[in-house]
Amino acid sequence: MSSSTSLQLELRPSRWLQFALCGLALGAALAIWRSSVPNEAFGLIPLLLSLSLWGLHRQVRGWLLLHEDGRALWTPRRSLDPHIQRTVDPVGVEVDALQLRGPLVVLAFRESGRRRRWCGAPDTLSTGERRRLRLWLQTHRPDLDSPFLR
């Protein structure tokens, strides 16, 4: 099968989402400062921000290869260094859902019975890749019939 009939997506954490979380934390600090909420609430902001960034950092990383015949292969990235080559053999996965919410994309798939989710923004998935991913799901997984595939 030629590479033109398949779609290879690199799934990695989004820097835009990291900046958005930091902006929300700054907005929360300003809101607490300007309101009559006790100052002890300031202590929650770093805790919630660190939990959110940790969750974003723990997202799956790797390559998802979607073939024209309906097969989906997942190759996890074992190292955070982008220069290290992929040494893990790809495994078959089942793509469960795709939610397109404005510029955000949430992709869910199952690998060996374990459900994985990936959230991306325009810095991690281009408009063309989003469109091709949506069309691949509509073609090969019509049973999903999700209102989020728009």
Would you say residue 10 has pLDDT above 70? Answer: yes
3-state secondary structure of 118: strand
> Are the CB atoms for 84 and 92 separated by under 8 Å?
no
Region 61-76: mean pLDDT is: 89
How high does pLDDT run on average in the chain? 84
Q: How many residues does the chain have?
A: 150
Region 45-73: mean pLDDT is: 91
pLDDT tens profile 96-145: 888 888 889 999 999 888 898 899 999 999 888 999 998 888 888 777 65
* pTM of the predicted structure, to 2 decimals: 0.75
Spatial separation of the C-alpha atoms in residues 94 and 17, rounded to whole Å: 26
Residue written as tokens 């974003």?
A: 56
Spatial separation of the C-alpha atoms in residues 138 and 146, rounded to whole Å: 10
Cα 10 to Cα 36, 91, 113, 118, 124: the distances in Å are: 45, 15, 21, 11, 8
3-state secondary structure 33-89: HHCCCCHHHHHHHHHHHHHHHHHHHCCCCEEEEECCCCCEEEEECCCCCCCCCCCCC
Cα 96 to Cα 34, 71, 100, 118, 143: the distances in Å are: 43, 13, 14, 12, 10
Q: Which long-range contacts (CB under 8 A, 24 or more apart) does 20-27 make?
A: 21/49, 21/52, 21/53, 21/56, 22/49, 25/49
pLDDT on residue 1: 41
